[in-house]
Chain A
Amino acid sequence: MTDTTLIAPQRKPHALELAPVFIFLVLALAPVAAAFGPETYLLGLFTRVMVFAIAALALDFICGYGGLVSFGHAAFVGIGAYSVGILSAHGVTDILISLPVALAASAIFAYLTGTVCLRTKSVYFIMITLAFGQMVYFVAGSLAPYGGDDGMTLQVRSTLLGFQPFKNDRVFYYAVLLFLLAAYLACRAIVASRFGRVFRGAKENPVRMATIGYDVFKYQRIAYVIAGMIGGLAGFLLANVVEFVSPAYMSWQRSGELIIMVLFGGIGTLYGAIVGAAAFLLLEDGLGSITENWKLIFGPMLVLIVLFARGGVVGLIERLTGRAGRG
């Protein structure tokens, strides 16, 4: 064995370390560029990109680092969105109430379903998370007072102590950006922490982890709750972006799209999820303006990415910048 196998990630500087900085810089400057175009439209689009990036980030956290492929992640987005919608229907619009409620509701749902789902492994885990996701979808569709299948329109965006700062699209944009940055930094810190190390170890070899004294299930459940809360945060923001809440947010197609975003961007990188969400929504928007059947073009692109650029867009860039030489 030669020294080429020596891996010292801390000491190896490479361009990709700057990728997250670059991504956030672009997002911070996007509104400036948008001012030269159809501003409202572009701001709305980019705000949606960031909202889905938050949801995809949470999915990458449990999926990429914990090996827990959840096919029901959109349920958390829906729960977050419905928390806003239902409270608002009763006249409660303050963010200081609706956001904690959205987070708590998602956490409780994650804790309860996680307790069941995490007893299963691999494909069973995928199926059972899908089942819970569909369950919430149908429950939301049956909420007649809150619009049932049709969903409901929000009267106003969330307020803050009686003021309406988020009415301004730019202010709201930067608020979402701050939430995305906070979610990204939190996930990154958790992954590197003691907790994160146990969680990552559980993905690699759960039997070994148990025999050195870890109750793997408990760690996974906490991570699942964290991911659920971040998903709920995305739902809270999504309701505010479109000022509309509907069961469609939590259909299994939405969960599948989140998985696609994570795969497209590059699983197990966190910032890849942001790239994936942007790529998905911008392609949807761009190709969608050409043809209604935009997925006919997007589908093969996804296949090509998965086949030839394992590690998604981030993995592709990694290879192009020549960092893969060590493999």
Chain B
Amino acid sequence: MADPVLQLTNLRKSFGGLVVTDGVTLDIGAGELHAVIGPNGAGKTTLINQISGLLAPDDGAIVFNGTNVTALPSNKRAELGLARSFQITSVLPKFSALENVALAVQARSGSSYKFAGAAAREAELNDPAFAALEEVGLSTRADVLAAHLSHGEKRALELAIALAMQPKLLLLDEPMAGTGHEEGARLVGVLQRLKGRFSMLLVEHDMNAVFALADRISVLTYGRILASGAPAAVRADPAVVTAYLGDELE
């Protein structure tokens, strides 16, 4: 495998006395879909927040595409090609779906220090935004305010925003969280199509989705990586079965 897109080395983070990330070391290769699973409170979202720059780790290093980004703010990391979706939907409610995505396109396309000319009418922004909406199956809802979208549609919008950034790595924090069976299946389909085109770090509770999508899986418990490897190997690992998978897979 070529150089990894993302390298975490001995990452540590604690909140007061609570150690939430306890020496995590992890590589994600180019084009790989790497899933991180683990029980609630294992520190999955905290890990994603450190990678995307919303939280600063206490110790350790985050190297993204050969650049040490440990001390960079999240907007700089986004410029380098790191995109994320949020577990709790984080979109701009009073912007239309198209505008939400167009803002992400704008961050990649020319200057945002333009003070004249209606941004809403720029094909340079709208066309790629519309394409990203199409990719996640939201093109018919382009003009709807994000606040008026259904929960599943908002999850898809999160994904479209991340895609429009043309990222080198997608951090997906429970993209299926709270969606119904049908919507969830639709999102898995979307991710399946994206797989290979983007490197992805997927945090997800839906084990069927994880085992259907992931190239490699890491199991996180109490902020530590318990096991990491191909899905079949992880599924068979006795430590993983006791700690986590036992009741999930009968």
* Residues A197 and B103 in contact, CB atoms below 8 Å apart: yes
A211 lies within 8 A of chain B by Cβ: yes
Stretch at the interface among B7-15, B144-152, B177-185, B232-240: B144-152
- Shortest A106–chain B CB gap in Å is 18
A207→B78 CA distance, assembly (Å): 12
Given A7-B144, A195-B114, A201-B92, answer yes or no on A213-B119 (Cβ-Cβ < 8 Å). no
A74 lies within 8 A of chain B by Cβ: no
* Residues B74 and A198 in contact, CB atoms below 8 Å apart: no
* Residues A213 and B99 in contact, CB atoms below 8 Å apart: no
* Residues A212 and B107 in contact, CB atoms below 8 Å apart: yes
* Residues A194 and B114 in contact, CB atoms below 8 Å apart: yes
- Greatest chain B CB density within 10 A among A7, A194, A215 is at A194
Q: Decide if the interface of chain A is mainly helix, strand, loop or mixed.
A: helix
- Greatest chain A CB density within 10 A among B73, B104, B122 is at B104
> Which one, A5, A190, A207, A213, contacts B115 given CB within 8 A?
A190
* Residues A213 and B144 in contact, CB atoms below 8 Å apart: no
Closest B-chain residue to A222, C-beta based? B113
> Which one, A5, A192, A194, A208, contacts B112 given CB within 8 A?
A194
B5 lies within 8 A of chain A by Cβ: no
A192→B149 CA distance, assembly (Å): 23
- Chain B residues within 8 Å of A205, by CB: 90-93
B83 lies within 8 A of chain A by Cβ: yes
A193-226 CB contact bits vs B (8 Å, 1 = yes)?
Answer: 1111110110011011111111110010010000
Given A198-B106, A207-B54, A212-B104, answer yes or no on A192-B120 (Cβ-Cβ < 8 Å). yes
- Chain A residues within 8 Å of B150, by CB: 1
Q: Would you mind naming 12 contact pairs between A and B with Cβ atoms under 8 Å apart?
A: A1-B148, A1-B150, A192-B118, A193-B116, A197-B99, A197-B102, A197-B119, A208-B90, A210-B78, A211-B90, A212-B83, A212-B107
Give chain B's interface residues, CB within 8 Å of chain A.
52-54, 73-75, 78-79, 83-84, 86, 90-96, 99, 102-104, 106-108, 110-120, 122, 143-145, 148-150, 161, 165
Give chain A's interface residues, CB within 8 Å of chain B.
1, 5-8, 10, 189-190, 192-198, 200-201, 204-205, 207-216, 219, 222
